[in-house]
Structure 1
């Protein structure tokens, strides 16, 4: 399954506007998670506690083998991904960086 930018993603900004947030999504084609069920990276609504932490540890271990981990983490921070494990960083770990941008 080949992944594409999220629906509605801006790939080219109209004239006079800042450059697009998603300038290059090609890194995703080399991601270790490319053929992995996305549920490994995103919590179900009812998931809590040990089950959530165990899933995150598995997701982060796969991220640790990924050749584009840095690009993935940068993407999550740049676009403000609020959910899931991206580049080995959980939503809770990204939260301080995301809140820091709003102040």
Structure 2
């Protein structure tokens, strides 16, 4: 699957550490989520993380805990 969508990412060129906060606290994730909120490819990024079961970082505006919740919800409705 092509990942050319990454070229349009709002996070491109930013310090990656923003997207890997030291804790799972919501306030630590806010800077990354603010970038994701403005991103034109947010959904593609989130789907990538869900498909690959990314364990770390903020992807598509979602923390690892939030992504697990999304996966559980999708299983229930499938």
Quickly name the TM-score band, shorter chain normalised: 0.7 to 0.9
- Structure with bigger helix share is 2
State the TM-score, normalized to the length of structure 1.
0.64
CA distance in 1, matches of 2:48, 2:13: 19
CA distance in 2, matches of 1:71, 1:61: 17
Shift of 1:53: 2.6
Measured against aligned partners, the alpha-carbon deviations of 1:49-95 in whole angstroms (never above 9, x if no partner) come to 6xx43230110111000010010000000111011100001101012
* 1:79 match: 52
Q: After TM superposition, what 4+ stretches of structure 1 lie above 3 angstroms from structure 2?
A: none
- Runs of 5+ unmatched residues, structure 1: 1-22
| Corresponding residue of 1:70 | 43
> Which structure has the higher relative contact order (CA within 8 Å, separation 6+)?
2
Q: Hey, what does 1:48 align to over in structure 2?
A: 23
Give ranges in structure 2 of 5+ residues lacking alignment. Answer: none
SS in 2 for 1:40: helix
Could you tell me how far apart the structure 1 residues matched to 2:19 and 2:62 are?
10
Under a length normalisation based on structure 2, what TM-score does the superposition of the two structures give?
A: 0.82
Aligned Cα root-mean-square deviation (Å): 1.8
Contact 1:41-1:55 at 8 Å conserved across structures: no
- The Cα of 1:48 is off from its aligned counterpart by 3.4
User: How many equivalent residue pairs?
Assistant: 73
